Chain A
Amino acid sequence: MNILETKNLYFTYPDGDQRKIILNEVNVSFDKGKFYTILGASGSGKTTFLSLIAALDKPERGEILFNGEAIEKIGYEKYRRDDIGIVFQSYNLIPYMNSLENVMVAMSITDNEMEKDMKAQALRILESVGIDENKAKRRINRLSGGEQQRVAIARAISTNVDVIIADEPTGNLDGKTSEMIIDIFKKLAHEQNKCVIMVTHSEKIAAESDVVLKLNTDTQNFEVTS
């Protein structure tokens, strides 16, 4: 069974007096253990699609199924809390907390089972993305962009979710740092059996993924290439 699936997903934006179709009856599915990238021109609806599958917004029509169950039925809030992790382009970390605290925020919010020593678990997760204990205790504004993004990835995976959704996570990073982040995502998919879905502008990064979904602005639907 697919871990995540969209059925007839439909979404429009207001465009003057009209409404512009962004996603038109989109049917697409995602599996665990694969790294997906979503490509498309600016304004094609990549981020909109991501917002919908991340339950940050609601579709006008159609549904999103997680393990065969509609996320509306699971509850948007609960779905975000227990079933997915989100990584943003602008990191979206809490500035007055350190890296460790940022990760522990998500761990304390989820209903998923966590280790008794949450702090040790968070430090191990941070270590796995290249943030050592010293950096883990630094305030966010004292970390580089790449380090901040790795903290954001650590936060996304800290809740033992199966799906990681990332919105242009390398958009603000240099080439070398981007490569490191992509490596993390690939490992998450291939070594930890996660389903990683990432929006990107870069054909080069897309080439690193297992499946490329290209949003066609004419059909407002995906073309799938492997």
Chain B
Amino acid sequence: MKWFKRSWLSITRNKIKTGILFLTTFIIGSFLSSTLALYLSNEQIKAEIKNKLGPVATVHSYYNFDEPYADTYDKYFDEYTMILEKLAQNPAVEYANIHYSLTGFASPSIYDDSTMSYQDYEAMNKKAVPLICYGTNYSMPIEVQEYKMEITDGRGFTEEEINTGANVILLPENYKRNDNQAIQIGDQIQLYYKKDQQIILEYQVKVIGKFKQINQLPQDMNLSDCVIMPNQTIEHISLSLNEAWLSFSDAISHGDHYDIPQISISSPIIRLKNIDYLEAFHERATLLLKNKNYVFSSASDIYDAIAGIIENMSFMSKFLVSSAFISSILILSLITTMFIRLRKHEIGVYMAVGEKKNRIIFQFIHEILFIMLLSFNLSLLAGKQISNSLSEELMDFLIDPNIQTITQTDELLNPEQISRDTILNNYSLSFDSSFLIVYEVLSLSVFTLSASFPLIYLVKSKPKDILSE
């Protein structure tokens, strides 16, 4: 009769001992699996929120422009662009999408075919269409790389065009010439700025590509009335406009040049290569933003604002799962020690008839492992029910109804507007394969640690001592 068969006989015939070990393991397993499910689910939810928010950050400017406005605007512009460029150079940064923009321009030679018919446009005496000059610092705009827009004709910018500020643009694909003819790649378009019916500046740009917005942009930005050009080009246009305005205003004594549109910089999206870099990047950015006119904001801030309750639940479930693990080892060690000590004479008999110690150990390991693993696996069903109740109890305990829920967070960094309520409404415990793997590893660890002490006792004993006890 081999050790395997002896072990099976022991399991099936020592019904009370088997039952006690099974029941104890079942109760412990239910608690262990429920707390583990709670812990892993919270960790998964935390990871999902962080993943949805992404490793993104921005620097908002809250510059207070002193009078005279003209003196402080240049200082602000230089300071803000310098900060953004320095941050963009950080090796942790994947990209920093910096946009300059300039409003107030129009084109007399084109119209948007998608917003009005040619007849309406003619009826309006082919009135010039207002356009926003929208800048980019990447040869292939990030919006294209992130599938927010696509280039439907022509090409993106070259590095040289970006660096030198060439007079080239990407135009929305719906635009046509004011004679209702299609605009060809390579065509020249005229942009102008008018003040009091006077054209202050005319600027020729070349169409190198056409684009179409295909997905929603942060803050519901709409590119349908934008011509995209290098940031440097916008800076050139702005300088030209300022110069033109100065000579024009001198002639008519019309006040300072800041009566006309200035370049604005929208808060950029800075995406890091990895979410783990956010904290270090935050520290470096804070050192750089010495004055109160700039505020660094990142996905971590949003996470802190909306996921506090999940963090608390995670902390509590971590404590619970650790307690369950330690108490499982202690209780099951006592039970298995008792289980083995009650059968010490049997062990002595095996030794007396010359059975090898390793086979005696195999027999006991097999018995305990079979009962424990069967029980641990069945306890998953009970654990599922317990963890549902446990999570509800914990939520009730942790949610303070007096604290108002934060519903609005930085829209630039949280375009989906994930809030605490959306997290809690979608909260669910998962019993997926990763949970099962961790649970099996944990239950095997509990078995190994709890069975090791009695088995060491077994290996160290002399047959005479066991039989005479």
Interface size class of chain B, counting residues whose CB lies under 8 Å from the partner chain = 20 to 34
Q: Which of A56, A93, A101 contacts B467 (CB 8 A)?
A: A56
Interface string of A61-104 (1 = CB under 8 A from B): 00000000000000001111110001010001111110001001
Most A Cβ at <10 Å: residue of B1, B14, B464, B467: B1
Q: Which of A80, A107, A108 contacts B352 (CB 8 A)?
A: A80
Q: Which of B2, B13, B352, B355 contacts A86 (CB 8 A)?
A: B352
Interface string of B346-366 (1 = CB under 8 A from A): 101111111111000000000
Q: Is the CB of A109 within 8 A of B467?
A: no
From B11, which residue of chain A is reached at the shortest CB distance?
A96
With both chains docked as a complex, state the minimum distance between the C-beta of A225 and any C-beta of chain B, in angstroms.
Answer: 28
- B176 adjacent to chain A (CB < 8 Å): no
- A110 adjacent to chain B (CB < 8 Å): yes
Q: Is the CB of B349 within 8 A of A92?
A: yes
From A165, which residue of chain B is reached at the shortest CB distance?
B352
Interface size class of chain A, counting residues whose CB lies under 8 Å from the partner chain = 20 to 34
Residues of A within 8 A of B355 (CB): 77, 81, 109
**Given A51-B464, A56-B467, A96-B14, A82:B354 Cβ within 8 A:** yes
CA distance A107 to B462 in the complex (A): 22
- B406 adjacent to chain A (CB < 8 Å): no
Q: Is the CB of B353 within 8 A of A56?
A: no
**Given A101-B1, A108-B1, A155:B353 Cβ within 8 A:** yes
Residues of A within 8 A of B349 (CB): 92-94
- A184 adjacent to chain B (CB < 8 Å): no
Residues of A within 8 A of B467 (CB): 56, 88, 92
- B10 adjacent to chain A (CB < 8 Å): yes
CA distance A108 to B13 in the complex (A): 20
**Given A78-B354, A109-B353, A92:B348 Cβ within 8 A:** yes
Q: Is the CB of A101 within 8 A of B464?
A: no
Q: Is the CB of A81 within 8 A of B354?
A: yes
- A183 adjacent to chain B (CB < 8 Å): no
With both chains docked as a complex, state the minimum distance between the C-beta of B210 and any C-beta of chain A, in angstroms.
Answer: 86
CA distance A104 to B345 in the complex (A): 18
With both chains docked as a complex, state the minimum distance between the C-beta of A185 and any C-beta of chain B, in angstroms.
Answer: 18
With both chains docked as a complex, state the minimum distance between the C-beta of B6 and any C-beta of chain A, in angstroms.
Answer: 7
CA distance A108 to B6 in the complex (A): 11
With both chains docked as a complex, state the minimum distance between the C-beta of B341 and any C-beta of chain A, in angstroms.
Answer: 15
CA distance A96 to B1 in the complex (A): 14
- B130 adjacent to chain A (CB < 8 Å): no
- A105 adjacent to chain B (CB < 8 Å): yes
CA distance A139 to B6 in the complex (A): 15
CA distance A81 to B463 in the complex (A): 13
Q: Is the CB of A79 within 8 A of B354?
A: yes
CA distance A97 to B462 in the complex (A): 24
Interface string of A152-184 (1 = CB under 8 A from B): 000100010000000000000000000000000
With both chains docked as a complex, state the minimum distance between the C-beta of A61 and any C-beta of chain B, in angstroms.
Answer: 18
- A106 adjacent to chain B (CB < 8 Å): yes
- B9 adjacent to chain A (CB < 8 Å): yes
Most B Cβ at <10 Å: residue of A57, A94, A107, A110: A94
With both chains docked as a complex, state the minimum distance between the C-beta of A66 and any C-beta of chain B, in angstroms.
Answer: 13
Residues of B within 8 A of A78 (CB): 354
Most B Cβ at <10 Å: residue of A77, A82, A97, A105: A105
Residues of A within 8 A of B357 (CB): 77
CA distance A207 to B455 in the complex (A): 45
Residues of B within 8 A of A101 (CB): 1, 9
Residues of B within 8 A of A93 (CB): 349
CA distance A88 to B345 in the complex (A): 12
Q: Is the CB of A77 within 8 A of B354?
A: yes
CA distance A106 to B353 in the complex (A): 6
Interface string of A23-63 (1 = CB under 8 A from B): 00000000000000000000000000001001011000000
CA distance A33 to B387 in the complex (A): 71
**Given A92-B348, A96-B14, A109:B464 Cβ within 8 A:** no
CA distance A51 to B348 in the complex (A): 13
CA distance A159 to B345 in the complex (A): 21
Residues of A within 8 A of B2 (CB): 108
With both chains docked as a complex, state the minimum distance between the C-beta of A123 and any C-beta of chain B, in angstroms.
Answer: 14
Q: Is the CB of A56 within 8 A of B462?
A: yes
Residues of A within 8 A of B6 (CB): 105
Q: Which of A51, A96, A110 contacts B10 (CB 8 A)?
A: A96
Q: Is the CB of A57 within 8 A of B462?
A: yes
Residues of B within 8 A of A51 (CB): 464
CA distance A57 to B465 in the complex (A): 9
Q: Which of B13, B352, B462 contacts A96 (CB 8 A)?
A: B13
CA distance A79 to B10 in the complex (A): 27
Q: Is the CB of B352 within 8 A of A92?
A: yes
Residues of B within 8 A of A79 (CB): 354
CA distance A153 to B453 in the complex (A): 34
B residues 333-392 near A (Cβ < 8 Å) are 345-346, 348-357
Q: Which of B1, B10, B352, B356 contacts A56 (CB 8 A)?
A: B352
Q: List 18 A-B contacts (CB under 8 A).
A: A51-B464, A54-B352, A77-B351, A77-B357, A78-B354, A79-B354, A80-B352, A86-B352, A86-B353, A88-B352, A92-B345, A95-B346, A96-B9, A96-B14, A97-B9, A97-B13, A107-B1, A109-B354
A79-B354, A109-B353 given. 4 additional CB < 8 A pairs?
A96-B9, A97-B9, A101-B9, A159-B353
Chain A residues in contact with chain B, CB under 8 A? Answer: 51, 54, 56-57, 77-82, 86, 88, 92-97, 101, 104-110, 155, 159
Minimum-distance CB pairs A-B, first 8: A81-B354, A80-B354, A96-B13, A56-B464, A57-B464, A106-B353, A108-B1, A56-B463
